[in-house]
Structure 1
Amino acid sequence: MARPKVILFDVNETLLDLTPVKESVGKALGGRPELAPLWFTTLLQYSLVATVADHYLDFGEIGAACLRMVARNHGVGLSEKEAQEAVAPMRSLPPHPDVIPTLGRLRDADCRLFTLTNSSKAAVADQMKHAGLTEFFEALLSVEDVGKYKPHADVYRWAAGRAGADVSECLLVAAHGWDVAGAAWAGMKTAFVARPGQQLFPPGPAIDITVPSLAELPGELDRL
């Protein structure tokens, strides 16, 4: 595999620690933090429903709506305002400890770095500013400009074009099996960060790089 010209990073869970929003969601669900993964899975499901139906909705809006759905299924009543407040920490998540040192190493090696996130443009700007990551990225790319959610192939191809590169010259870095699978099927190189609880999709395409933490990524690129 040739060294990629562009590196695109997923944001939620890959760069940012979702613990604060999982805690707030668990509290909103009647003090049941074990339901937070179900909420996030439902959020991803309905983002894909919106994509397949060709009806784009804001990621935060879907997140609040899905929280109310999960709450109802478990006997918890949540108003729209309460649901919005519960998911609000998504905009102020901390970076994982391995993120800033790794992005610094990649920037010092003259890598071109971009985000590629399902968060809205306003949300990813807030996220990167709060986490102190804005300076590392050439641009903050959001699916909002495409009107489709990852892992739709159009998203990855659009991102490559936005970076002025062929899709085959880009590397997508993510902690989600569905994200790296989508990128690989679209023609990108891929790197899977095996955050706790995350797995690759067994029938999916071959992934180029798998690392236990982001800190190992620069070394893997140096060996290309």
Structure 2
Amino acid sequence: MIVFNGDFVDRGSWSVEVVLTLFAYKWLYPDRVFLNRGNHETNDMNKVYGFEGECKAKHGEMTYKLFADVFTSCKCLLWGKKRYFVVHGGPPVSQDGVLLEEVKKIDRFGRQPGQEGLMCELLWTDPQEQIGRGPSKRGVGLGFGPDVTRRWCELNKITAVIRSHEVRQDGYAIEHDGLCITTFSCPNYCDSTGNQAAYVKMQADGQLSYHQFAAVPHPDIKPMAYSSGFGGMMGL
């Protein structure tokens, strides 16, 4: 089983090719390939960070609208052996006591995550070192401390949260006393950060291993060649 944990598009200039490859694998191996939705599989982000412009330039507006519809069908979470909670941003932590059953009932089809609520938190939250909750550096979602992670995992009998959403210099990081694992599979993010990339491999018994890789040369096209910038979000 392979899980791609969101942010298939935007930032780069080959988002169309990347997401079509993922969809092809999903079509070929429907029971083995799973696509979790990230915060960049959303209309607002696509307008600002490049996917809308790229898709329209390469294949036209109707194709972009089709992609936007398909993105809403992607799951927001997955868990497997030993109950690992795999999600793009993080668990729903704006308040204590949220159960997995509530998360599973989210009606994701045709919906954008908005600025608050369970779906927004799954796609936008970030871990922080400080205990408790804090404002998000992104302006959407929030930060959650190790105590918040522990309470949520214990309540829902979760072994650990595996998430993405943030660059890590080594490609991955194990945080919150092992209860929050970040993995980031884009090396040298935006051709500027020099980071390694990594993926997590889970054995049949639930044991995890981490595998790093570096960037390879690509054609000389800027990472956000199709981006409209924040002016596009305001219709300017």
Q: Which has the higher contact order (CA 8 A, sep 6+)?
A: 1
TM-score by length of 2: 0.35
Greater per-residue strand proportion: 2
TM-score by length of 1: 0.36
